[in-house]
């Protein structure tokens, strides 16, 4: 299953690969060179297909848990001052996605969307300390039953040039359902109340909608 955000890119890639193969078959007489071109085209197509894959996920639907919004690796667990929405200290958990990860963004918890905003910005590498405040990003806040308001932020990176955000203020959302999509690698930050029990560790690999990152 592929994500809808990839339909046009997948179709375009298949068309380009098909044209390249037809041209190569007609004009490339060296057999080794032809197979080299075919191999590069095949690898490129497979990379595009795997990037836009959208596997089914089984979220716990548990109000006492917060799930990872994306696939990737935990790169930050720290107490920070969140100044866009809360203007107070929060626990930040950041997850970095490589180009080979699933890039669907999912809601960490169920509730009502109270804030959703897009910010244009730079394209610093996603692990840069200032990327959370200076890169292109979207911020979404969901009011949950057990944790109060939980913020998650999609952050563009050096390769990610488009962030898609589906969240609308007033919308009721379920845990693990689709919140958006980031094209070609980046990171997502989650901001939780101070005192929240964190259930992941630095460098741990997580799966969107399934890995529990925090609990009451």
Q: Give the residue numbers annotated as catalytic, written as ranges.
A: 186
Which residue from 164, 173, 80, 194 is spatially nearest to 129, judged by alpha carbons? 80
Which is it for the CA torsion 191, 194, 199, 200, positive or negative?
positive
Please state, in angstroms and rounded to a whole number, the distance separating the CA atoms of residues 127 and 117: 22
Give 110's Cβ-side CA count (13 Å radius). 10
Which residue from 113, 96, 128, 92 is spatially nearest to 174, judged by alpha carbons? 113
Contact 123, 156 (CB under 8 A): yes
Please state, in angstroms and rounded to a whole number, the distance separating the CA atoms of residues 20 and 26: 10
């Amino acid at each position: 299953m592929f994500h809808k955000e990839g339909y046009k890119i997948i179709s375009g890639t298949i068309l380009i690969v098909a044209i390249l193969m037809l041209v190569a078959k007609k004009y490339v007489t060296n057999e080794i060179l032809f197979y080299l071109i075919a191999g590069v085209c095949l690898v490129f197509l497979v990379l595009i297909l795997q990037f836009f894959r959208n596997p089914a996920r089984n979220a716990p639907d548990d109000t006492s848990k917060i799930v990872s919004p994306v696939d990737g690796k935990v790169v930050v667990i720290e107490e920070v001052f969140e100044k866009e929405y809360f203007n107070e200290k929060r626990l930040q958990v950041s997850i970095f996605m490589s180009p080979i990860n699933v890039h669907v963004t999912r809601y960490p918890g169920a509730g009502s969307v109270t804030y959703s905003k897009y910010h244009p910005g730079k394209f610093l590498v996603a692990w840069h300390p200032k990327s959370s405040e200076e890169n292109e990003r979207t911020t979404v806040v969901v009011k949950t039953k057990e944790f109060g308001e939980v913020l998650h932020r999609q952050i563009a990176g050096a390769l990610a040039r488009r962030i898609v955000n589906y969240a609308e203020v007033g919308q009721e959302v379920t845990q693990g359902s689709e919140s958006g999509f980031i094209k070609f690698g980046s990171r997502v930050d989650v901001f939780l109340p101070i005192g929240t029990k964190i259930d992941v560790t630095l460098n741990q690999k997580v799966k969107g909608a399934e890995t529990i990152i925090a609990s009451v």
